[in-house]
Amino acid sequence: AQKVTQAQTEISVVEKEDVTLDCVYETRDTTYYLFWYKQPPSGELVFLIRRNSFDEQNEISGRYSWNFQKSTSSFNFTITASQVVDSAVYFCALSEAAETSGSRLTFGEGTQLTVNP
């Protein structure tokens, strides 16, 4: 069975600090996909990134960067120079290749990030 662990329940930083959110996953599949979502107070989950298991290249998008380490089954997310607007709950999720169509996401429990001015 697949599992996603986000050990950090809450993180609080001061604006402009860098912060890394950890994600560790478990799966028996060789083909799988990893995702990060942001959930601001409004409730809607916002898709941030998708990474497949064959692509270990790290990615940077503006202040966001992701570090995929297959050897340690981790997919960590770093926000550089954090801003108050980054305050949200961040979810890491895993999707295995399914026998039927449609993707099935297994979510971690989320990390509440608070960025203080």
Partner 1 sequence: ETGVTQTPRHLVMGMTNKKSLKCEQHLGHNAMYWYKQSAKKPLELMFVYSLEERVENNSVPSRFSPECPNSSHLFLHLHTLQPEDSALYLCASSQAFDFGLYEQYFGPGTRLTVT
Min dist. Cβ of residue 47 to partner 1 (A): 5
Work out the number of other CB atoms within 10 angstroms of the CB of residue 54. 9
Min dist. Cβ of residue 27 to partner 1 (A): 11
Query: Of 43 and 117, which has the nearer Cβ to partner 1?
Result: 43
Pairing verdict, β 59-61 and 64-69: antiparallel
Min dist. Cβ of residue 87 to partner 1 (A): 18
- DSSP, collapsed to helix, strand or coil, labels residue 86 as helix
Query: Of 19 and 92, which has the nearer Cβ to partner 1?
Result: 92
Residue 9's Cβ-count burial label (10 Å; 0-12, 13-18, 19+) is exposed
- CA atoms lying within 13 Å on the CB side of residue 33: 12
Q: Rounded to whole angstroms, how far apart are CA atoms 39 and 111? A: 10
Query: Of 79 and 110, which has the nearer Cβ to partner 1?
Result: 110
Min dist. Cβ of residue 102 to partner 1 (A): 4
Catalog residues that contact partner 1 under the rule CB under 8 A.
Answer: 4, 32-33, 35, 37, 42-47, 50, 52, 91, 95-105, 107-110
Query: Of 5 and 80, which has the nearer Cβ to partner 1?
Result: 5
